[in-house]
Structure 1
Amino acid sequence: MARTIRIASAQYPIDELTSMSAFAGKLARWVEQAVVKGAQLLIFPEYASMELARIAGRHVSRDLHASIEAMQYYIADYEAEFANLAKRHGVHILAGSAPTRLADGSVVNRARLFTPHGETGTQQKQILTRSELEDWGIDAGTGLCVFDIGLARIGIAICYDSEFPLIVRAMYNAGAEVILVPSCTDTAYGYYRVRNGCAARALENQVYVVQSCTVGEADWSAAVDHNSGAAAFFAPSDPLFPSPSGVLEEGTMNAPQWVFATLDLDVLTEVRKNGDVLNARDWDLQPGASELPQAKVVTFK
């Protein structure tokens, strides 16, 4: 039997929600829409969590640092909603990332993965944009993981991380077949930088890459006021895949929606062995190619 995984990638609108129950209702509707279409893994974008800052009032959501502080209060309930929905529907969910204060006082951009069995895994963003460093005060995260969820082995490269080859290569070396890229970009320029990074990582590692993004305007938010992008699925450019461009599926720019694809992992294995070119194998022919970080493998039930 072919090894496949059906994934739903969100073009997620930042809405003005004024209560946790309103957020819970919105999230439940989104998850149900994806489950009805057969999704086994659902991906929400970077900083989707920041719409919760509005619950504390516009005076909070219009202040960037006050918004980050508010998220420390809401994050446990936010993640609990994803955990409950993953169990209820029997799916894996990558929640929208959140600025998260660690025990040492640092604040990282953290994405959390939830399984149907109540297990969780986290990935911190490794490389931060100028805005995150200079305006948000976010700290660089540590540690790379590959999550074996049974259906597939996945890595998570949060937005800007997808633009740096060694991060994803370390995940490939640890067995990743699918790279999830939750992103949040306020302009088309930022969106295309991440999109081009996704396509490049798919090409050079012969992996699937899935991008999710925030969309829409939110003038009440200092954190996520402008959001531009489209969700998409990328594969290596090879005749074994249906699209010569490597783009398997993509959404309508800036429109709230789910984008779906069923990824065949056996085809990916075949491309790595017998493709027109063997980028993944030939990585080591580059000067300095062996200087890589290491990724830890986390196995779920």
Structure 2
Amino acid sequence: MRVSMVQMNSADDKSRNLDVAEELTRNVVAVEQPDLVILPEYFAFLGEGRDAIHANGEVFPDGPTYQRFSALAKELGVTLHLGTMVEKAGNGHYNATLVFGPDGSEIAKYRKIHLFDIDVPGGMSYRESDTISRGEQVVTYKVGDATVGCAICYDIRFPELFRALRDKGADVIVLPAAFTLMTGKDHWEVLARARAIETQTYLVAVGQTGAHAGGKKWCWGHSMVIDPWGHMVAQCSDGEGTATAVIDLARVEAVRVDVPLASHHVL
């Protein structure tokens, strides 16, 4: 199974973001012929202000972004893990991942469970819960013989979610993110490797990169694939771009046989 990551520098120009996402997806599919392509968190719009964020959300499945990328997945014949975007549903707005199968049908939707409410060293505050409602469901889907689990950004700090995904049969866990530069430089790789080792899965962490909001916010980037033993097997360069890795399900099985963690849990 081949997995391609699409690293972006999304901003408040939704049209530009969608064009870049489509172009990078088309390019990496043409060159790498992956089975699964993954975009980052808030790939469609990464701006400031509750009103702007809500205004750029969409109702599924009728929204234009939903329809555009469903059609793209079908045209390219790939499974497309659509990072995240804002889903309007009733009175709520969710930070939601969509996954389209090679026929363009929706095969999974995950709403972010852990919302990022934090004061970052240096004075910047983030209050995702002021804008976004909390999800509740643990979600997996299939790509061929592989079971893929869904997580988003701040979820990476909560290993209980990753264990739940492992218990649902995940061989691969995908984490689109817009991880801050301040925390990312110290925690991003450490957390990704820890979650992969604990769950004995491939962890595919796909990030936003560079400056946002006129330079007031920065994302760490460093999109990466970590194998079940904790080794990095692929990473994006700085800036917008792509990287591809091969997911070896036999490697997952071998690691789980060597260290049978799933049968050793006590708590």
TM-score, normalised to structure 2, is: 0.86
- What residue number does 2:246 align with? 262
Computed over aligned residues only, the root mean square deviation of the Cα atoms, in angstroms, reads 2.3
Report what 1:68 is aligned to. 53
Following the alignment from structure 2 to structure 1, what is the Cα–Cα distance between the partners of residues 148 and 194? 17
Q: Residue 10 of structure 1 aligns to which amino acid in structure 2?
A: V
Q: How many residues of Structure 1 are paired with residues of Structure 2 in the alignment?
A: 256
Q: Which amino acid aligns with 1:259?
A: A
Alpha-carbon separation, structure 1, partners of 2:159 and 2:128: 24
CA distance in 1, matches of 2:49, 2:8: 20
Aligned to 2:123: none
Q: Structure 1 pair 280/249, CA: closer, same or farther in 2 (3 Å)?
A: farther
Q: What is the CA deviation profile of residues 57-83 of structure 1, one whole-angstrom value per residue up to 9, with x for unaligned ones?
A: xxxx5x511211221358711122211
Whether the 8 Å contact between 1:163 and 1:194 is mirrored in structure 2 is: no
What is the alpha-carbon distance in structure 1 between the residues aligned to residue 148 and residue 209 of structure 2? 24
User: In structure 2, the residue corresponding to 1:185 is in which secondary structure?
Assistant: coil
Q: Deviations over 1:129-162 (max 9, x none)?
A: 1156467432211111111232411001101112
Are 1:191 and 1:228, in contact at CA under 8 Å, matched by a contact in 2?
yes
Query: Are positions 1:118 and 2:110 aligned together?
Result: no
Corresponding letter in the other structure for 2:74: K
For the pair 1:249 / 2:234, whether they are aligned, the reply is yes
Equivalent residue, structure 2, for 1:11: 7
Does the CA contact (< 8 Å) of 1:125 and 1:157 recur in 2? Answer: yes
- Whether the aligned pair in 2 keeps the contact of 1:79 and 1:95 (CA below 8 Å) is no
Deviations 1:144-191 (A, max 9, x none): 111123241100110111221111111111111000010102314236
Deviations 1:190-249 (A, max 9, x none): 364343222111101111100000112233598xx4222211111233xxxxxxx51112
Is 1:50 equivalent to 2:37 in the alignment?
A: no
Letter in 2 for 1:81: R
Give the match for residue 35 of structure 2: 40
Distance 1:66 1:16, change over 3 A: closer
Distance in 2 between residues matched to 1:74 and 1:146, nearest whole Å: 22
Cα distance change of structure 1 residues 88 and 261 upon mapping to structure 2, 3 Å threshold: same
1:90–1:181 Cα change, 3 Å: same
* Residues 198 and 23 of structure 1, relative CA distance in 2, 3 Å threshold: closer
C-alpha separation between the residues in 1 aligned to 2:58 and 2:164?
34
**CA positional deviation for 1:127:** 0.9
Distance (whole Å) between structure 1 residues aligned to residue 6 and residue 49 of structure 2: 24
Tell me the SS of whatever aligns to 1:259. strand
Contact in 2 for aligned 1:191/1:229 (Cα 8 Å): no
CA contact (8 A) 1:202 1:209 kept: yes
SS in 2 for 1:166: helix
The match for 2:261 among 250, 271, 279 is 279
Q: Which runs of 5+ in 1 are unaligned?
A: 52-60, 238-244, 289-301
Mapping 1:1-301, distance limit 5 Å: 5-14=1-10, 17=13, 20=15, 22-36=16-30, 37-51=32-46, 63-72=48-57, 76-103=63-90, 105-120=91-106, 121-130=108-117, 133=127, 136-190=130-184, 192-220=186-214, 225-237=217-229, 246-252=231-237, 254-273=238-257, 275=258, 277-282=259-264, 284-285=265-266, 288=267
TM-score (norm 1): 0.77
Letter in 1 for 2:234: E
Query: Does the Cα contact within 8 Å between 1:272 and 1:281 map onto a contact in 2?
Result: no
For the 8 Å contact 1:108–1:141, the answer to whether it is kept is yes
Structure with bigger strand share is: 2
Quick one: distance in 2 between partners of 1:173 and 1:160?
20
Amino acid corresponding to residue 33 of structure 2 in structure 1:
G
Structure 2 equivalent of residue 55 of structure 1? none
After superposition, give the CA deviation of every residue in 1:9-57 in whole Å (9 maximum; x if it has no partner): 122122564x73x455323311111112121101111111215xxxxxx
C-alpha distance in structure 2 between counterparts of 1:96 and 1:38, whole Å: 19
